[in-house]
Chains A and B, each alone.
Chain A
Amino acid sequence: MLFLMGIGPVAAWSQDADKLLQQVKNKLALVKDYVAEGSMKTDIPFVKMADANVVVYFRQPDQFRVQRANGISILPKGGVQGSLHTILSNKSFTPVAAGNTNMDGKYLAVIKLLPVDEKSEIVLITLYVDEKTALVWHTSSTTRNNGTYETKLQYGKYASMGLPDQVQFIFNTTEFKLPKAMSVEYETGKTAKPATAAKDNKGRITISYKRYTVNKGIPNDIFK
């Protein structure tokens, strides 16, 4: 009896987590594909790069591409979960409720997602969800080979479809080193690090979306 009393609330939480995750997925399912225009700010400790206009393409289930017109983009390997769709869609997870927390002035439900596939690259995903709107404001993904990534989302006029106005990816970086004999550098006498260097050795890529074109179809060659 005591045992049943103990697991009762756990089962209820699990159902809540299932229900909330389904609500999030239902919202995301409204979008089959999108093309979004925006600007990208790259803040990686050893990279000096100006902000640039980008076009972001997404198509269900998990095709995602950030493109700079005639430009170069540097994105963390396997880490640009640019869309919640790419994190959640078509993957099997066991959701576990992990209570609630206050984050950036919002009271959010915490859901831990454990992948069903034991060989999955993702080991654990944590979602921070607003229960009223079923919007995900923060995610944290722990991967097998590429460290831990975080995503912070901000919503605005496209919130009804679960599309953010701003996404910030946060990822771990290591130092970049190239032998000086290879780079044959001009020495200025200063050893200052780049001005944009993050102090916590983390890289940040922020995409601010200006407008979305939703469910209008995307040519296949975009994702090749």
Chain B
Amino acid sequence: MWPILRIELFKIFSRPRTYISFVAITVIVALIQLALYVDGKNYIQFGMQSLTQGFDIEGNVLNGYLVCFIILQTLLIHVPLLIALVAGDAIAGEANMGTLRILLTRPVGRVELLLAKFAASLVYTLLLLVWMALLALFLSLFIFGKGDLMILKSEEVVVLAQNDVFWRYGWAFLFASLSMVMVAALAFLLSIFADNSIGPIITTMSIVILFTILTTLDIPFFQLLRPWLFTTHMLGWKAFFDDPIPWQAVSQSAAILLLHILFFAILGAWVFKRKDILS
């Protein structure tokens, strides 16, 4: 399988559009960091209004850890689009170019080819997250320095000591990887059904956007739906910034995301094995 994976990785990384995601993340992270560096104090004061009415906050609130948290909160909703660009193109792109049938004439099993393509999409997804972690965490720490991390939740304020934060980011990025792999698996599954990569990319994004809206809208009717939406569990990375960490809930969310990945992968393999490839 390794030779096929190498070929698939070569295909992904030889396409200029693959690098659009890396450039986009670099630009967005740099812009957020620049904006916070120039006018971050006003932004923080605005965000903390409800707290500063009754309390004086002393210390370096706007530090690298908080900047990274703000970046992750902003970006992790949009990164699925960048992942869908590649994962949604994996099979549909070949079908669109008319190379899928030729590819399957080679002495490689369909499932093996599918796994190699899926693994290549995962490598791309994980590299994107590693790049994001490098920029969002390490560059922010370099620019803004270390400090305690203060997070405002809807009914409480959590302040984590600076020596208690870094390992939490390790877990948070690990969890975010699981979430993004799930998005990649969804886009990959949809890619099997399509003959054009635009379809699975847009469908993946539509599902993610719709579910995200249902997750974030604070309307009682939607609260019933929330536990059943994968976007609810994709927010699990935030749990690592609670004290104590709700391990049971996080493990449950991770298990649900894993089940989604397995389901999408198995369904994809099942469909692809039986699919009449005409293009």
Q: Which residues of A contact B (CB under 8 A)?
A: 46-50, 52, 65-68, 70-77, 80, 173-190, 193-194
Quick check: A186 and B238 within 8 Å, CB to CB? yes
Quick check: A177 and B155 within 8 Å, CB to CB? yes
Q: Which residues of A contact B150 (CB under 8 A)?
A: 72
Q: How far is the CB of A110 from chain B (nearest CB, A)?
A: 29
A81-B80 Cα distance, complex, nearest whole Å: 51
Closest to B49 in A: A178
A62-B42 Cα distance, complex, nearest whole Å: 29
16 intermolecular pairs with C-beta atoms under 8 Å apart:
A47-B159, A48-B157, A50-B243, A72-B58, A72-B61, A72-B150, A76-B54, A178-B154, A179-B154, A180-B216, A181-B217, A186-B236, A186-B238, A187-B232, A187-B235, A188-B249
* Residue from B51, B56, B235, B253 within 8 A of A176 (CB atoms): B51
Give the size of the chain B interface in residues (CB under 8 angstroms): 45
Q: Which residues of B contact A187 (CB under 8 A)?
A: 226, 232, 235
Q: B278 near A: Cβ within 8 Å?
A: no
* Residue from B155, B159, B226 within 8 A of A72 (CB atoms): B159
In chain B, residues 208-234, which have Cβ atoms closer than 8 Å to a Cβ of chain A? 216-218, 226-227, 232
Given contacts A176-B51, A187-B226, contact A72 B60 (CB under 8 A): yes
Closest to B51 in A: A176
Q: How far is the CB of B51 from chain A (nearest CB, A)?
A: 7
In chain B, residues 29-70, which have Cβ atoms closer than 8 Å to a Cβ of chain A? 50-61
Q: Which residues of A contact B147 (CB under 8 A)?
A: 70-72
Quick check: B60 and A190 within 8 Å, CB to CB? no
Quick check: B159 and A49 within 8 Å, CB to CB? yes
Given contacts A52-B161, A185-B235, A188-B249, contact A74 B55 (CB under 8 A): yes
A2-B146 Cα distance, complex, nearest whole Å: 72
* Residue from B54, B148, B217 within 8 A of A70 (CB atoms): B148
Number of A-B contacts (CB under 8 A): 124
* Dominant secondary structure at the B interface: mixed
* Residue from A47, A66, A75, A179 within 8 A of B156 (CB atoms): A47
A182-B161 Cα distance, complex, nearest whole Å: 24
Q: B266 near A: Cβ within 8 Å?
A: no
Q: B246 near A: Cβ within 8 Å?
A: yes
Quick check: A181 and B249 within 8 Å, CB to CB? no
A176-B18 Cα distance, complex, nearest whole Å: 44
Q: Which residues of B contact A189 (CB under 8 A)?
A: 227, 249
17 other A-B residue contacts (CB within 8 Å) besides A186-B239, A187-B232: A46-B155, A50-B160, A52-B161, A65-B58, A68-B59, A68-B148, A70-B59, A71-B161, A73-B58, A77-B52, A80-B56, A176-B157, A179-B154, A184-B73, A186-B253, A188-B246, A193-B155
Which of A68, A173, A176 has the most chain B CB atoms inside 10 A of its CB? A176
Q: Which residues of A contact B146 (CB under 8 A)?
A: 70
A173-B155 Cα distance, complex, nearest whole Å: 13
A76-B237 Cα distance, complex, nearest whole Å: 31
* Residue from A50, A173, A179, A185 within 8 A of B238 (CB atoms): A185
A194-B59 Cα distance, complex, nearest whole Å: 23
Q: Which residues of B contact A67 (CB under 8 A)?
A: 58
In chain B, residues 242-259, which have Cβ atoms closer than 8 Å to a Cβ of chain A? 242-243, 246, 249, 253
Closest to B234 in A: A186
